[in-house]
Amino acid sequence: MSSHHQVLVIGGGTAGIMVSAQLKRAKRDLDVAIIEPADTHYYQPAWTLVGANAYDYQKTARPMKGLIPPGVHWIKESASEFKPEENIVVTAEGNSITYDFLVVAPGIKIDTSLIDGLTEALDRDVVCSNYTDPLHTWTVLKNFKGGNAIFTQPKTPIKCGGAPQKICYLAADHFRKEGILDNTNVVFATPGTVIFGVPAIAKTLMKVIHRYGIHFKPFYAPVKIDASNREVTFKSVNPEENNCIVNEGNVLQERTEGTYSTVMPYDMLHLAPPQTAPDFVKSSSLANEAGWLDVNIETLQHVNYQNIFGLGDAAGLPTAKTGAAIRKQAPIVVANILKLMEAKSITDMKYNGYSSCPLVTGYGKMVLAEFDYKNNFLPDPQLKKMLVFDSSKEHWRLWMLKKYMLPYLYWNKMMKGVPV
């Protein structure tokens, strides 16, 4: 079976639905199709709160069929191969779909094989992740009685880079409320060099870390999980200086192993699993050397094929992979496709790398990091007027934004192609 469409979109996630909806709003008679195999669409930004028992998991899920924009063809299959020279996408089911324009937005792939032992350990016993099973995260948190509570993330890019530390702060606040924080060593271990790349945000987050007494471990990259002994091994990402250091007193009961590795016992372990672009993107001629979709970082047009665009988590863009980034990327992709249809050239619109990370720092508290490719702090003027004067500081109104306003805007505006 084969079919042809003016615009073919790969992916029924945030990016794919937004672009499809905005295209149909701009040009009602446009022939748009989405390739997406899933029956359910999840609002994953709320999973941070689900893992801390502050949001209902069921409210994060909606049937895909209710989100496919009216008039858009739903091809309920999986994309498996690109033939860009022929304007063809081949599905896993063996069907060839041709297009005039292609939008690649398949999201990101979780690859647990990149950390030794993670496949066997994840979502079992006291190893958890809001990225895969936030309900299990809450089970682990509520059953935790003290000891080492370790929160970490991999060296690979991940969805919402701030998510691993959000649950760390919520967990520390939960332990405080339960009266066990004094009996707990909360650890945030990251391959990064700083807590956050935007200085104004980092300043606030370091105060949060000191408030909860969190052990902050930069340069720590998780490489192995030994679930039977409840130990996690970290390797220094800066081996010349070996920044995996066993501190004096050693309250975490760490031990060195080899030259650049440190082994740490855990009583609970939360981590963001390693993530990559989907295999059919990585292995294609559309990918860059790192395996991500090779698009111009300002126009989102593929560097080699003018009728192909990419956005969202699979795109090779040097900014945080968030829904807020997609909110700014989608209108540029839509405008450029519509312009190409009429004038054989794209618009002058440029994507500046804008992304936003709502950093929950405790129950009822949040910081909002908004930034561009250069890590400039870019608070939204309208949001500033509505909510708080300085979103780089903790505020309860920002918590309300995260828990109530953003989900509403997502389902009722973004998913329907309404500009927000």
Backbone dihedral angles phi then psi of residue 324, each to the nearest 5 degrees: -65, -35
Q: The tokens 């560097």 sit on which residue?
A: 303
| Residue tagged 């329907």 (tokens) | 416
Q: Which residues of 231-250 are buried (b: 16+ CB within 10 A; e: fewer)?
A: bbbbbbbeeeeebbeeeeee
CA–CA–CA angle 204, 206, 211 (5° rounding): 95
Could you tell me if 284 and 82 are in contact, meaning their C-beta atoms sit under 8 angstroms apart? Answer: yes
Cα separation, 95 vs 85, in Å, equals 17
Rounded to an integer, what distance in angstroms lies between the CA atom of residue 68 and that of residue 378? 32
Residues in the chain, total: 420
Q: Which of 346, 270, 338 has the alpha carbon at shortest distance from 301? A: 346
Element (H, E) at 50: helix 47-50
Asked if 160 is an active-site residue, the reply is yes
Residues 211, 176 contacting (CB under 8 angstroms): no
For residue 282, the surrounding DSSP H or E stretch is: helix 279-282
- Going by C-alpha positions, the residue among 320, 277, 319 that lies closest to residue 298 is 319
Distance CA 136, CA 60 (A): 16
Is 271 in a helix, a strand, or coil? strand
**Catalytic site residue from 128, 160, 168, 244:** 160
Active site residue 357: yes
Give the torsion through C-alpha atoms of 133, 137, 140, 143, to 10 deg. Answer: -120
Supply the residues annotated as catalytic.
Answer: 160, 357
